[in-house]
Structure 1
């Protein structure tokens, strides 16, 4: 995934623009299923329908996005702008996740995690070599002095053991995925 934090003209965070690039195998499965589907729709139309299905599935789960400002949860709005496309054999889901209200950071950090609460899907930032790419977390909008960083997951060994004990038929406890998620952090001068 990659994240672009959108600021308004007053330097407040108003949305998170996310790009999720599915892994090659899952992309292949999706594209094959879409190409074999019955009907007259083009691949682009079928990708649009897939986008709506993904959005509707993620909505009750907060779009897999946990956002915190100064250790408080931040309310998110509903995704209305999204698209699904095929690029270089990979399926990409791109969407704009608005905040419920613009957020003035007031010099406090903003942190996010993107994860599947059930620990079924792993979400990682785009990499470039041995670490996250520079484009994995960027700011867009008003001119502010902001620093960004992506913090690797460092789960407690007890959580790792808990996850390792899950059998293919087991269901992970809700929220287990957060302990294995990378954290994106934004710190802007007040």
Structure 2
């Protein structure tokens, strides 16, 4: 779960770009605390996911320096909009770090219309909403999570209560799953190759380490 920052200079202007070509043996360099709210509709379908990410002080200060065009040590509305636009474009190829599955199969998600950036207590906050491409019924096993396939950004849910479902149907139960890395490696040993460890960006196996909100529902819920 990783955002990698790369600074590029174009026409004398510093642009913050997000790159995901992580080197071998990479480890998190950027850290964020997350909250995920799953919203349901009256038909028992998943209506939307609401994400909030609060980034660490070091990364936040870097963003402040790079986007503070008027150098007033704050990010005004136009500067925050630029941050949101850059992050939105950069995460498009990575499904915005979302993990959504239904009975073990990946669920296609619509791209969020925009990402909202804010700066609170000297920390960058990113907020956005997304929705499934097609109706996603709460039946069987449905899982939600956030992970960065490059391992460069660690996005963590500090408390189980930071992963919630609004109006969970009566026929469903929910639990937060925090995979043990050693167990995850052992259970997926046959699927993991040298290529994965040398270049984790070439596949999506890193999701086996992601903290997940797991919903188990009866077929008629």
Matched, 1:24 2:57: yes
Deviations 1:59-110 (A, max 9, x none): 121111121111122111121143110112111110001110121122x121
* Paired residue secondary structure (1:63): helix
* Paired residue secondary structure (1:116): coil
* Paired residue secondary structure (1:91): strand
Matched, 1:51 2:84: yes
- The equivalent residue for 1:137 is 163
| Cα-Cα RMSD | 2.9
- The equivalent residue for 1:6 is 39
Please point out which of 163, 173, 189 is paired with 1:147: 173
Aligned residues: 177
* Paired residue secondary structure (2:132): strand
- The equivalent residue for 2:200 is 172
TM-score, normalised by the number of residues in structure 1: 0.79
- The equivalent residue for 2:154 is 122
Do 1:118 and 1:176's aligned partners in 2 also have CA atoms closer than 8 Å? no
- The equivalent residue for 1:181 is 210
Do 1:137 and 1:149's aligned partners in 2 also have CA atoms closer than 8 Å? no
- The equivalent residue for 2:141 is 109
TM-score, normalised by the number of residues in structure 2: 0.69
Please point out which of 114, 120, 123 is paired with 1:90: 123
Do 1:119 and 1:176's aligned partners in 2 also have CA atoms closer than 8 Å? no
In 2, Cα distance between equivalents of 1:177 and 1:23: 22
